[in-house]
Structure 1
């Protein structure tokens, strides 16, 4: 038999669960293996709500420092930023395994300093036009005089890349769907969608 106090307890648990789900975030994380530095990863992955970014530092049998990165279930976080359930195996020696919450946050884990501040932003950058706006999973550190660009070309396909200020601004006025911006990973969608039938899935955050 359910008592009044039991019902109140169940309601409190339900509310807490709803709050937890509402606060869940999808992080965009670096992903790859055997990189000499975290900044050398040029691919990202859009993690699920219960996942966080991770970075593993290890030493190879040749004495080289290498890194693995990707998404990991948040239950693997122990104390602080430390993570267990490592992907590093013998004969490599694990030095550091850290998890973090935030886009590209692994770039500054395990004692690394993150991306340089004297360059342009870190942007989505695909070397060829794509058919859906969320198909670009490669990134690049832009030059200081460049912005993150996103626009639909004359063939109706998306171009996502670092662009000089002048070219980016011109795309904003000539393309049916474009964005020019200078913050991290900001070029995943357009600011002025004037065309119809633009093939975007709308699954990635902007």
Structure 2
């Protein structure tokens, strides 16, 4: 009795970190429809054995077996005995068609498990679903629920981020549960455990030279001190004092440049640009403090250099030239 008890305890306490997970069913007609799994002991592989009943039915036993029994094994003309060494691979043993390629993930599916990693039932998710695991504290116990979940539900719950901590309450009801961890993932059998992801400290290396570093889930952001700019707040912000009165300030290596708004010019865009409308039709416009002056091209005259000056060539040899509308 003592020996039997010790054997049972040893079997119950078995755990393995890098062991295979294989389909585990007895007398099943289609291996890939088996919805039970087992974790093989160290050194064992996935196994499929074919049998026939006295009525001629072909059935399969799925599970684990020692690696040494898989070599130099003779097969009869009808019976098949197959081994393989990847998770759930015995769905495709003995020449069977395994799981289709265009499918959702295969996920653990159990509710109210009080021991993490003790689920041995699986479900086949749709292409718009993910694997989900939820850990709650209920009546002082940790309770685990694993299943398939629609992608949109997982996205709303911040999938594969830090754990959600808090009581499950609403305005109209009171709950005795407290959510400790809620995670979703895309890979086969990825929802065996609910391990909160620790937020990395991207600010540990003090990347912000002249500013404050703020952590995020994927990196850091620098909030620069006054007079500094750049991704790491290492560049002087010459534009911090907004020197351009009527324009946009552009930082340079040693200073700033002002890109003036329309009607303004000058180093800091403080001067009115009366010439911005190009008032001098045939001449050069010169800005002044209160207006503009046109310096006309040859043969033109008038305030805006718009009148033809035919007398500029002094066509009258012995007399005075007078301009008119035509010459």
TM-score (norm 1): 0.69
- Whole-Å separation in 1 of the counterparts to 2:70 and 2:87: 17
* Superposition pairs of residues 162-201 of structure 1, within 5 angstroms: 162-171=148-157, 172=159, 174=164, 175-192=179-196
User: How big is each residue's C-alpha offset from its partner over 1:124-146, in whole Å with a ceiling of 9 and x where there is no partner?
Assistant: 111x2211221111111111111
- Whole-Å separation in 1 of the counterparts to 2:112 and 2:43: 32
1:30 correspondence with 2:20: no
User: How big is each residue's C-alpha offset from its partner over 1:74-132, in whole Å with a ceiling of 9 and x where there is no partner?
Assistant: 110124xx578xxxxxxxx9610001111111011100121122221111111x22112
Ranges in structure 2 where 5+ consecutive residues have no aligned partner:
1-16, 165-178, 199-327
Aligned twin of 1:153: 136
1:125 correspondence with 2:129: no
Task: Specify whether residues 157 and 112 from structure 1 end up closer, same or farther in structure 2 by C-alpha distance, changes over 3 A only.
Answer: same
- Whole-Å separation in 1 of the counterparts to 2:54 and 2:74: 23
1:69 correspondence with 2:62: yes
Query: Would the aligned equivalents of 1:76 and 1:83 in 2 still touch at CA under 8 Å?
Result: no
Higher alpha-carbon Rg: 2
Richer in strand (by share): 2
- Whole-Å separation in 1 of the counterparts to 2:21 and 2:88: 6
Aligned twin of 1:140: 123
Query: Would the aligned equivalents of 2:107 and 2:188 in 1 still touch at CA under 8 Å?
Result: yes
- Whole-Å separation in 2 of the counterparts to 1:139 and 1:99: 21
1:105 correspondence with 2:89: yes
CA RMSD of aligned residues (A): 2.4
Ranges in structure 1 where 5+ consecutive residues have no aligned partner:
1-23, 85-92, 195-206
Query: Would the aligned equivalents of 1:150 and 1:188 in 2 still touch at CA under 8 Å?
Result: yes
TM-score (norm 2): 0.45
Query: Would the aligned equivalents of 1:77 and 1:99 in 2 still touch at CA under 8 Å?
Result: yes
